[in-house]
Structure 1
Amino acid sequence: MNTDRRITLGHFRAFVAVVECGSFVAAAQRLGRTQSALTHQVRSLEDILGERLLNRSRGHFSGLTAQGMHLLPHAHRVLGSLASACRAVTKPLLSGRIRIGVMDDFRIQGLIELIANFKAIHADAELTTVSDLSAGLEARLLRGEIDIALIKQVVGPEHSPSAEALCIEQLHWVAAEGFDWRGPEQPLSLVVFHHGCVYRKLMLEHLDRLNVNWHIAYAGYSYHNVRTAIQAGLGLGLMPYGQIPVGCDIHHHLVQKFCLPTLGFSELILRMGSHSVSPVVRAFRQEMMKDLSSTC
């Protein structure tokens, strides 16, 4: 008997639910099943494959095995394809132009997959993507050149996060281990992004208010290049926590009694233009919001 013919969507739903919920109890509640029935289904999948997929400690889920990690993305794709097929039948087909703007440092692979899935349902939709810095994307939105923009905005430490924020990260002053500034008698070396970056603007505004004499040692477009320059010790930089380079330190002061101000945090925001928005743009924005909310 072929193994693949014995595996059902129910097997994949049970397996994915346990991983996403973190426990058999929570997964059973999500699927509206008893815990014993769900446990039986997961064990049935393991028996069919002849591999253990979940690690268990006293009967409780404690993580994926190596085989489970290999299977998980395939299970997600199978269930995602089923959901797409259902939407293709139950939702009206949409057509029209969708112009998307994303930041230069945005991981494009996830967006490419999202566009491919959307096109699989709405074949007549025409999607165009452009990358730019956040300030450039804001300007394009105002001019009506794009319909949707994924941007970053900086929020001060005295404010609360925006309700529309999809992802929030604390900002920090960062420099390589051993980075030294002798004080006001010499310019402070900086590593920054190019003009139009909200991080660059915030950094220079703070230093100017402190009357710090600075010079830009490196200016780049990509996170990779800016991180590399900071790691090499070229200067002080400003980074969200998740992008701090290996081997670098968070700085709260540079020389004795010279304290660096608290920076606040960075928010990821999905914005739409003020011009008339078509149904196809609204539909794609909804899919993009769901995708970003699950990955951030």
Structure 2
Amino acid sequence: MNGPQGVAMTRAEEIVGSDSRITLDHLRAFVGIAELRRLKLVGELLHRSESAVAKRIKELEDLLGCPLLLRAKGKFVGLTPAGRRFLQASWDVLQRFGQACHTVQHPELCGQVRLGVPDDFMWAAMPGYVEQLRGELPGLRLSVLSLSSTSVLRTFRERNLDVAVVRMLDSVGDTVFAPVQETWGVEPLCWVANAALDFTAAAELPLVLHPEGGVYRLAALSCLAQHAKPFFVSYSSSSNDNMRRAIDSGLGVAVLPRSRVEPQHVVQTSAQGFPALPQVHVMVGLREESAPYRRVADSLRRLWEADTDMGSQSIAA
């Protein structure tokens, strides 16, 4: 059948032919796990319990009649071939649905938002966050710039960023750097190495540090200066993977937030003579109070709060 009536019949046949038991909740749970690979984080984003997310995925696999996720010893380790095919189709459905809702519900959430974050800020979860936000707010063009906290702060003050996440030490935690500003929380810092070290016995302390401008580097150097401890920088890199390898290889001691300490790391405490480090304040600044800037900041804060409480890269199936 040709003409408008034929088009209508084709669309009607597609609707009738689809499985109405598969819902958007199923697709959101599946896409979230496939992209973020963390059950708790997906639950936080979807406002569901971990068991509810796992149940949706199991229901989806039963309805489709095939497994989508690969599991090993009860944990998610990847996607099956069917899962990889279904992922792109699921993204398409969710993005189109988001676009349809956005045009009606949020006409003000349009335009460009320039977001600046520290180099290692949620480095594993950031790509998934950006992709999800673009799907939820298709009228919003989000561009992300990843630099040291010092560079993010400078770029924001030069009015080249709209939303900026920065880390500041205790001594500058009350600094006003934005017209709209708030403190999200505190990241406790700790000394880590691949084995227990004796702070007082070491003539010079070997350090594995982030580059100039990083707040972890500043915390380490200011603490050592306060205690008049000689040191030398044995390794420095902006790459999280390279920093981890340097620590694992025994090149020196590093300063990391407690949420980024890995199982193989040994935390150096006062028992080894290591002094207490200053706390780091995580702060966000908005160029002005507007709906797009606020939406980006609030959704990023929820993700940060979930991510810093994560610990494990694997998820329970």
Distance 1:165 1:201, change over 3 A: same
Structure 1: gaps of 5 or more residues? 28-38, 54-63, 157-161
Q: TM-score, normalised by structure 2?
A: 0.62
In structure 1, distance between residues paired with 2:156 and 2:190: 29
The answer to whether residue 240 in structure 2 is matched with residue 212 in structure 1 is no
Matched to 2:293, the amino acid is V
2:297 is aligned, of 282, 285, 288, to: 285
CA offset at residue 282 of structure 1?
3.8
- Corresponding residue number in structure 2 for 1:272: 286
CA offset at residue 117 of structure 1?
2.0
8 Å contact 1:173–1:237 — kept in the other structure? Answer: yes
8 Å contact 2:207–2:231 — kept in the other structure? Answer: yes
CA offset at residue 152 of structure 1?
2.5
Distance 1:288 1:180, change over 3 A: closer
- Corresponding residue number in structure 1 for 2:5: none
2:254 is aligned, of 228, 237, 252, to: 237
1:148 is aligned, of 156, 163, 175, to: 163
Matched to 1:138, the amino acid is L
- Corresponding residue number in structure 2 for 1:33: none
- Corresponding residue number in structure 2 for 1:252: 269
8 Å contact 1:217–1:234 — kept in the other structure? Answer: yes
2:191 is aligned, of 142, 159, 173, to: 173
Matched to 1:133, the amino acid is S
Match of 1:165, SS?
A: strand
- Corresponding residue number in structure 2 for 1:263: 277
In structure 1, distance between residues paired with 2:141 and 2:95: 22
The answer to whether residue 112 in structure 2 is matched with residue 97 in structure 1 is yes
In structure 2, distance between residues paired with 1:22 and 1:117: 22
In structure 2, distance between residues paired with 1:265 and 1:3: 58
Match of 2:250, SS?
A: coil
Alignment of 1:10-159 (within 5 A): 12=26, 20-21=48-49, 48-49=63-64, 82=97, 85-106=100-121, 107=123, 108-117=126-135, 120=138, 122=139, 125-155=140-170
CA offset at residue 9 of structure 1?
2.2
Matched to 1:86, the amino acid is C
CA offset at residue 252 of structure 1?
1.2
8 Å contact 2:182–2:285 — kept in the other structure? Answer: no
- Residue-by-residue CA offset, 1:182-236 (whole Å, 9 max, x unaligned): 726x221111111111111111111111111112112221222222212211111
Matched to 1:202, the amino acid is A
User: Which structure would you say has the larger RCO, counting Cα contacts within 8 Å and 6 or more residues apart?
Assistant: 2
User: For the aligned residues, what is the CA RMSD?
Assistant: 4.6
In structure 2, distance between residues paired with 1:219 and 1:21: 40
In structure 1, distance between residues paired with 2:115 and 2:47: 32
In structure 1, distance between residues paired with 2:255 and 2:303: 28
CA offset at residue 101 of structure 1?
0.9
- Residue-by-residue CA offset, 1:52-106 (whole Å, 9 max, x unaligned): 99xxxxxxxxxx8869x988x9699667864553233222154443221122123
CA offset at residue 249 of structure 1?
0.8
Matched to 1:112, the amino acid is V
8 Å contact 1:11–1:45 — kept in the other structure? Answer: no
- Residue-by-residue CA offset, 1:85-135 (whole Å, 9 max, x unaligned): 323322215444322112212324124304532562x1xx54433221011
2:204 is aligned, of 180, 187, 198, to: 187
In structure 2, distance between residues paired with 1:281 and 1:11: 27
In structure 2, distance between residues paired with 1:290 and 1:188: 38
Matched to 1:20, the amino acid is R
